[in-house]
Structure 1
């Protein structure tokens, strides 16, 4: 009966922090102390006694003081001084930790969105060509995105432009990208035939 009761005891831990603390630049000791601080300090409150933080851990008071300094240095907590009638008090705030978690989620969502766009690009090219891309083609397209800095939309446009001229080689697509990057097309001028362009003729000729 007691075991069943213990199984149902839950401890509220921020799941983002628990799942991604290493990506946030924290180690296990730091995350344990931060969780303790967040549990008792959902807002700004007086700094807890060091003995409260050592309870249930194998850490010494000196080690916890060092961890607190590290958390301040990593901008997860803030300690300010408040002068009250009874004297000077140190106030702890864990708001920086919540801001960091919010920023992490925002950047993570952006990464997921970018990854989705890249997957859409690969699917777009495969559907257009009517076949699966080879490993070397995947590598070339990834290089365009990571090393050359071409956008997904620019690559799609170049692939589509080459395809309309019955060209399905990424080598030719790369030449289109290089020319688009080097010489923006002027809207007043008529675009030269793509086949002549891909043979090496300059856009300004």
Structure 2
């Protein structure tokens, strides 16, 4: 079974929308290397249409220019790119295709394909939300920037059902950005909860 790794820039207050307006002051070599490892190592990349259009409008030109990020641009260009959309699409960027069928069913089929390469996901918030709800994301990479944006789209919307996660790793960069990697979880092991912590929680809920 292939795994899905998703990456998002986020503020400390959970905003993921329009990162171009607040992300760049915190960019550093450590962050670039982490993003490159998560996305550049994938042989298949899944996109929502808006994110795909943004990538297609930038990365081919970067590859052609042959500058510092040309290697990353070539890796993305060489990868199989699958776009989620309800409308028929036409592509000019190489190795691009449209996801067939419904999102959840189509992604389950992708994960079941032979091979060991990861399926990367960058941005594409609406797609990511649905895959998280369906428990199809194996690694959620959140690059938490030390800024409260205070307005904009957040990854998680209000809903009745929580999505439990487990922390796989946590790395702080010199810029102040924290790279947190989460995986799926069945929820906290309440039977192993510290009794003092449990009493505090019960007292808090009863307050």
Normalised by the length of structure 2, the TM-score is 0.21
Higher relative contact order (CA 8 A, sep 6+): 2
Larger Rg: 1
Higher normalized strand content (fraction of residues): 2
Task: Give me the TM-score of the superposition, normalised by structure 1.
Answer: 0.21
Is the helix fraction higher in 1 or 2? 1
